[in-house]
Amino acid sequence: MRIIFMGTPAYAAPTLEALHAAGHEIVAVYSQPPRPAGRRGLEVLPSPVHRSADALGIPVFTPKSLKSEDEQTAFGALHADAAVVVAYGLILPRAILDAPRLGAWNGHASLLPRWRGAAPIQRAIMSGDTRTGVMIMQMDEGLDTGPVAMTETVEITPAMTTGELHDELADVTAKLMVEAMARLEDGRLPVTAQSDEGVTYAAKISKAETRVDFTWPAQQVHDHVRGLAPSPGAWFELDTGGRAERVKLLATEVAEIDAATQAPGTVLDDRLTIATGEGAIRLLTLQKAGSKPLKAEDFLRGTTVAAGTVIG
């Protein structure tokens, strides 16, 4: 088929590449405009999908919006059979949705209607979900409200991070979308309306919520850390030499220790076991600003954190 692909981050690139490998004619790729990158933001880089499209020799368009008549006319002039959308990041007006002959199809990383919105992978882990998945849905003007055509469920294991789940779901999305487009081409891709029950929204992660709150139960702290790992990363402050230093947490485990008599945030031993509002958490992988990630034992070789210290 003639397909317009619309996506931006690394998550979407495997789907673009899989559709191309499956023999579809990708007539154009739409991606978010190049953005400042690097520590100082001095370098402007195209998105991962943009770079994949360049490598495949596919023309790329990077409009800031698709609301103008000119953009909608140009989109329609591509005469696509279908649009495939994976983590594009722009709202698609009705004129864009209606332009492809067979509609616009989205690969979404959750079991809808749970976790509609921008950050479904992070929110699933942060909330302690034990399963998630990918759904291929036909897009409408709502926020991930369209009818669903295909589903694949994925287990979220107890120590799984967002980074690990991201990579697994990206591969599932690519495989499932290739199958969905084959069925669509053959005229055998029926859809089913989403349920009105169990709707939740996966809001974009804000900077304010990345700080660890040790007054939470240990399991909630653990889920929070792995849901934000590796990026943007959960963090706490540690007093080092009389100044508060921010430390990123990349891995933890719930510790089987009775910490009921200790204030949340109290260091309990020489293994970085920390009292929480309910139970205790052990810090496994930490990272200071400008430094590489370190296992707890290596971190403690360069930073003294005595039992009884309160962090937070």
pLDDT digits (tens, 9 = 90+) for 243-261: 889 999 999 999 998 888 9
Classify residue 224 by its DSSP letter: H
Domains 2-201 and 207-302 share a fold: no
CATH superfamily of 207-302: Formyl transferase, C-terminal domain (3.10.25.10)
List the one residue out of 260, 221, 237, 220 whose CA is nearest residue 310.
237
Mean pLDDT confidence for 23-40:
90
What token pair was written down for 180? 């969905």
pLDDT digits (tens, 9 = 90+) for 220-241: 999 999 999 999 999 999 988 7
What token pair was written down for 179? 């199958």
Q: For residues 248 and 147, is the Cβ–Cβ distance under 8 A?
A: no
- Which residue in the block uniquely carries the two structure tokens 């990123």? 248
| Phi, psi (deg, nearest 5) at residue 151 | -140, 140
The answer to whether the bond into 120 is cis (omega within 30° of 0) is no
AA identity, residue 70: D
Is beta strand 201-202 parallel, antiparallel or unpaired with respect to 116-117?
A: parallel
Give domain limits for the chain: 2-201, 207-302
Q: For residues 16 and 49, is the Cβ–Cβ distance under 8 A?
A: yes
Q: Residues comprising the binding site?
A: 110-113
CATH topology of domain 2-201: Rossmann fold (3.40.50)
- Residue 209 contacts by C-beta under 8 Å, 6 or more apart in sequence? none
- Mean pLDDT of all residues in the chain? 96
Q: Residues comprising the binding site for (6S)-5,6,7,8-tetrahydrofolate?
A: 110-113
pLDDT digits (tens, 9 = 90+) for 134-186: 999 999 999 999 999 999 999 999 999 999 999 999 999 999 999 999 999 99
- Residue 40: pLDDT band with limits 50, 70, 90: low
